[in-house]
Structure 1
Amino acid sequence: MAASNGQLPRTSAALREEIERTRAELATSVSELREEVAVATDWRQWVRRHPYACVGTAFLVGYVVGSRR
């Protein structure tokens, strides 16, 4: 018997297998995303990659905060 979209109905075992595969892919994607976010927000990496920009920014922030008196 054909389903309404023209495909054969899936068995419960096939559906479970697809769900497990999707869960595994999602877990992998979430893990990769966490690592990317950790790298992107690591201030030590920013200082290593852009030392002059970080020193300049720190100087500017210090100047602005110090000149508010």
Structure 2
Amino acid sequence: MDPYIIFGIIGLLLISHGVLTKKRKLQDLEYVAGGLFLLIYSISIKSYIFIILQIIFIIAALWDYKFRK
């Protein structure tokens, strides 16, 4: 098994848990962490559209973490 698949699985689990989390700040942090793991996975498979998507997702989650109350 490709070790980068583990990064993808962890990212998916973190984002899935973030959806279920009720605490807004924790949710955003889980989105960022999951997005970073999925970014590593997408770089490993050289999926450029997915790389761009993950970067935008991470920036949006960071923005939400910083500016939402």
TM-score by length of 2: 0.36
Higher relative contact order structure (alpha carbons within 8 Å, sequence separation ≥ 6): 2
Asked which structure has the greater CA Rg, the reply is 1
| TM-score normalised by the chain length of structure 1 | 0.36
